[in-house]
Amino acid sequence: MELHGKNLIGGNPVASSDKTFQAIDPQRSKSLDPDFFEASENEIDLSLDLAEEAFQSFGQSDPSERARFLDLIADEVEALGDALIERAHLETALPMARLTGERGRTCNQLRMFANLIREGSWVGARIDTAIPDREPLPKPDIRRMLQPLGPVVVFGVSNFPLAFSAAGGDSASALAAGCPVVLKAHPAHPGTSELVTRALLKAAETTGMPQGVFSMVHGVSHEVGLRLVTHPLTQAVGFTGSQKAGRALFDAAARRAKPIPFYAEMGSVNPVFVLSGTLEERLESFVQGYIGSLTLGVGQFCTNPGLLVALAGENWDLLMHQLSRGIEALGCGTMLHDGIRAAYEEGVDRLKEQEGVRLVAESEAKPNAEKTEAQTFLFETSAETFLGEAFLKEEVFGPCGLAIKCKTPEEMVSVAKAMEGSLTATVHGDEESLSEAAPLLSCLRRKAGRVIFNGFPTGVEVCPSMMHGGPYPATTDSGVTSVGTAAIERFARPVAYQDFPDNVLPAELRNKNERGIWRLVNNRFTQEDIEI
């Protein structure tokens, strides 16, 4: 499939701007054809006008129709075959096997949401029937359920060109809820985004979805993102990226005349705490697991374990020695693009210059700048230094770890309390040490969205119980997840109907439970019809 580089608005390729850019092959530092056209203000406005128009029917569409649409998107993405994987590899340098697995995750997510809305209970139907003769006042009939917000803007993600981009989790959950989507394609992989968007639009045409149900716009300038976020028809935003960019857009969303939800995933250090006794029992396996997690995808995972916290003593020295040996033997890896590489090197340089921080190890292989390569680093500091320096609490996005040496378990708790919000927190130990670490666990439950025992944070299972979120700055809303079926709730809001005639109510709230969903009726969960 030949790429045209144009914006795809309402199913049509559009390019009126004279601003263009090209994708860069990070392994060779070479431009890739074709030119991609940055969206003009008029094109952004048109995409949201069409999305609002599409919402009038798509937001009220039968869930089975939306489910068929989602299933067919997955089929069409798979039908792109090797061409999709090859283009994504060229634009990101991610291994072909990794991208093949990510395509599988993308399609599985789409089918997961299709099954969710077919079953239907996600709308959270709550029904309290009337009691007209109640004293001193009659009780009205009140029925509530979740309903879609309206047009949603999704920002494509650099480190997940498939699973968190055009047809990724944010788009899938928004479409499942009944919200049209305008995608801001990531400029690091615009060709990949075009291929997936064209597959999605083909599915939309086949299933008879309204024009404007999905549009894709390009842009490297900040103005494109700002206009999308501040456009009066945008009702919610899904974003994954840097804290600086995320916070700027979040503030813009809050300053609107009518503020909107801005669901941003930004920075996360994902600490790993090692309890007493752990290293005596399984030092080698722990070291292998930690290094593997730290360097997975050249450290470019949002759940990369950037901080390692353990107790001082003989086992600390042995841990540092073993980690050093493992890290020194590593080669270099190509990062997603030069901007990420430059930011990573800046963070590493700051650690090297920080008083009280010692460089423990670095991979012996030296990076080739023309291949956008990066080394792996491990630094060490004391709990006292960590507690006194704000920079050490920030994420360095890439294969860089900071080990924090604590004198006592109480000092470990102090370190945990001083940390910023995080997507994950991990604890290694046995059942006995875990039971003795209640203060630490109590703190970590407040600091992270997912707490892991004897594992490592990289690798996010896509399932209904997953929580991929956390307190700020990990996300801007710690009450929601961007992975798993609960992600759909970000793009819906509850609406209550009082004393409505039964035949006018949404199908999910009528007396006859035609869809067979679970509903809370007069304080009891049931799938039964309501007898009036």
Residue-wise pLDDT for 446-481, tens only, equals: 999 999 999 999 999 999 999 999 999 999 999 999
pLDDT of residue 391: 94
The CATH code belonging to domain 8-266+481-489 is: 3.40.605.10
Does residue 367 have a cis peptide bond before it, meaning omega lies within 30 degrees of 0? no
Q: Hey, what CATH class is 272-453 in?
A: alpha beta
pLDDT of residue 435: 86
C-alpha gyration radius of the chain: 25
Residue-wise pLDDT for 50-88, tens only, equals: 999 999 999 999 999 999 999 999 999 999 999 999 999
- Measure the CA–CA gap between 146 and 144, rounded to whole angstroms: 7
Q: What are phi and psi of 77, to 5 degrees?
A: -65, -45
pLDDT of residue 187: 98
Quick check: helix, strand or coil at residue 126? strand
From the candidates 53, 91, 265, 373, give the one annotated as an active-site residue.
Answer: 265
- Measure the CA–CA gap between 162 and 180, rounded to whole angstroms: 19
- Measure the CA–CA gap between 477 and 486, rounded to whole angstroms: 14
In the predicted structure, residue 279 carries a pLDDT above the cut 90? no
- In contact, 164 and 199? CB cutoff 8 Å: no
| Pairing outcome for strands 272-274 and 307-311 | parallel
Residue-wise pLDDT for 215-225, tens only, equals: 999 999 999 99
Residue-wise pLDDT for 366-405, tens only, equals: 999 999 999 999 999 999 999 999 999 999 999 999 999 9
Beta bridge partners of 451: 425
* 406-420 mean pLDDT: 97
Closest to 165 (Cα-Cα) out of 223, 102, 115: 102
pLDDT of residue 471: 97
Active site residue 432: no
pLDDT of residue 1: 81
Give residue 222's identity as a one-letter amino acid code. Answer: H
445 exposure class (CB count in 10 Å sphere: 0-12, 13-18, 19+): exposed
| Chain center to CA of 35 | 28
From the candidates 38, 91, 107, 302, give the one annotated as an active-site residue.
Answer: 302
pLDDT of residue 272: 98
Active site residue 265: yes
Quick check: helix, strand or coil at residue 239? strand
Question: pLDDT grade, residue 276 (50/70/90)?
Answer: confident
Count of CA atoms in the C-beta half-sphere (13 A) of 49: 7
- Measure the CA–CA gap between 394 and 397, rounded to whole angstroms: 9
What single DSSP character describes residue 191?
H
Closest to 203 (Cα-Cα) out of 243, 167, 159: 167
65 exposure class (CB count in 10 Å sphere: 0-12, 13-18, 19+): middle
pLDDT of residue 278: 85
| Pairing outcome for strands 524-526 and 519-521 | antiparallel
Question: pLDDT grade, residue 432 (50/70/90)?
Answer: confident
Q: In Å, how far are 125, 251, 281, 484 from 517, measured between CA atoms?
A: 9, 39, 49, 20
- In contact, 482 and 263? CB cutoff 8 Å: yes
- Measure the CA–CA gap between 5 and 219, rounded to whole angstroms: 11
What's the length of the chain? Answer: 532
- Measure the CA–CA gap between 383 and 259, rounded to whole angstroms: 40
In the predicted structure, residue 445 carries a pLDDT above the cut 90? yes
pLDDT of residue 281: 82
| The 3-state secondary structure of 127-186, one letter per residue | EECCECCCCCCCECCEEEEEEECCCEEEECCCCCCCCCCCCCHHHHHHHHHCCCEEEECC
pLDDT of residue 299: 97
Percent of the chain with pLDDT over 70: 100
- Measure the CA–CA gap between 100 and 238, rounded to whole angstroms: 24
* 303-325 mean pLDDT: 95
pLDDT of residue 229: 98
- Measure the CA–CA gap between 337 and 32, rounded to whole angstroms: 13
pLDDT of residue 441: 96
Give residue 239's identity as a one-letter amino acid code. Answer: F
CB atoms within 10 A of CB 422: 27
* 351-377 mean pLDDT: 96
Residue-wise pLDDT for 196-212, tens only, equals: 999 999 999 999 999 99
Domain boundaries of the chain, sorted by first residue:
8-266+481-489, 272-453
In the predicted structure, residue 257 carries a pLDDT above the cut 90? yes
Question: pLDDT grade, residue 323 (50/70/90)?
Answer: very high
| Pairing outcome for strands 448-453 and 422-428 | parallel
| Pairing outcome for strands 377-382 and 357-362 | antiparallel
pLDDT of residue 178: 98
Closest to 60 (Cα-Cα) out of 160, 172, 180: 180
Closest to 14 (Cα-Cα) out of 203, 160, 218: 218
- Measure the CA–CA gap between 486 and 48, rounded to whole angstroms: 25
Which DSSP string do the residues of 430-461 spell out, in sequence order? Answer: -HHHHHHTHHHHHHHHHHEEEEEESS-S----
272-453 and 8-266+481-489 share a CATH fold: no
Residue-wise pLDDT for 469-512, tens only, equals: 999 999 999 999 999 999 999 999 999 999 999 999 999 999 99
Over the range 295-325, which residues count as b (16 or more CB within 10 Å of their CB) and which as e?
A: bbbbbbbbbbbbbbbbbeeebbeebbebbbe
| Pairing outcome for strands 7-9 and 12-14 | antiparallel
In the predicted structure, residue 431 carries a pLDDT above the cut 90? no
Percent of the chain with pLDDT over 90: 96
345: Cβ contacts below 8 Å, ≥ 6 apart: 374
pLDDT of residue 313: 87
- In contact, 166 and 196? CB cutoff 8 Å: yes
- In contact, 234 and 151? CB cutoff 8 Å: yes
Q: What are phi and psi of 151, to 5 degrees?
A: -60, 135
Average confidence score pLDDT of the chain: 97
- Measure the CA–CA gap between 499 and 512, rounded to whole angstroms: 16
* 99-115 mean pLDDT: 98
Residue-wise pLDDT for 139-196, tens only, equals: 999 999 999 999 999 999 999 999 999 999 999 999 999 999 999 999 999 999 999 9
- Measure the CA–CA gap between 180 and 175, rounded to whole angstroms: 6
